[in-house]
Amino acid sequence: MAQWDQRNGLTYTAVGDTVNLAANLEELSKVYRVPIVMSESIHQAMATSCISRFLDEVRVKGRERFMRIYTVIDRDDRQVSRVPGQGRAAVQLFGTQSWGEISDWSPRGMALEQLEQPIGEGSLLDLTLYSSDYRLPLFLRAKVIWAQSHRAGLEFVESNHHLHPSMENVVSRAAWEQYPQS
């Protein structure tokens, strides 16, 4: 819709459901502290153009149903040092415990394989990690950012700030051993 104003010339105003949704998603970017929040339809349309990750399932103002929201990941963000993992993870979800094998990890997250039970994207998990890489079990909380059958990618959620440095040390030490400096 355009409107003519003698002082300022032609001005444009957009209204409607699409504009309202865009405004609400822009507000959610502040809540989730990410540069861009997109709906599932945009996420699917952009699947070959950008790397994105699931954020949450939320109720957006003006919508009756919950909707899945995503954010864009910088390609460089995916290049964080990942090292093969050794060990098992006890996974707590909705009061039940199951197990999975640690496939690889980085200071920000990990991948699990051979999960006894499939888990869904967006689930928050309490983890107890047992590995020869550290002496005592680590207790972490993680969010599922992708899931395929009995595999899942997890992003650590900061609840105990002292745990993250220990993960950094484990991954840094493992990366050093795997790729020694010449």
**CA neighbor of 109 nearest in space, from 74, 76, 144:** 144
User: Per residue in 88-121, pLDDT tens?
Assistant: 889 988 888 899 998 887 777 888 999 998 888 8
Q: What is the DSSP string of 11-58?
A: EE---SHHHHHHHHHHHHHHHTT-S--EEHHHHHHTTTT-EEEEEEEE
pLDDT at 123: 86
Q: How many residues does the chain have?
A: 182
- Domains of the chain, by residue range, sit at 2-77, 80-178
- Domain 80-178, classified CATH 3.40.50.1370, yes or no: no
Q: Which residues of the chain have pLDDT under 70?
A: 1-6, 8-12, 74-81, 132-135, 158-182
**CA neighbor of 170 nearest in space, from 136, 144, 141:** 136
What are the residues facing 147 on neighbouring strands? 152
pLDDT at 40: 87
**CA neighbor of 169 nearest in space, from 125, 106, 121:** 106
Q: How many distinct helices (H) and strands (E) make up the chain?
A: 3, 12
pLDDT at 179: 44
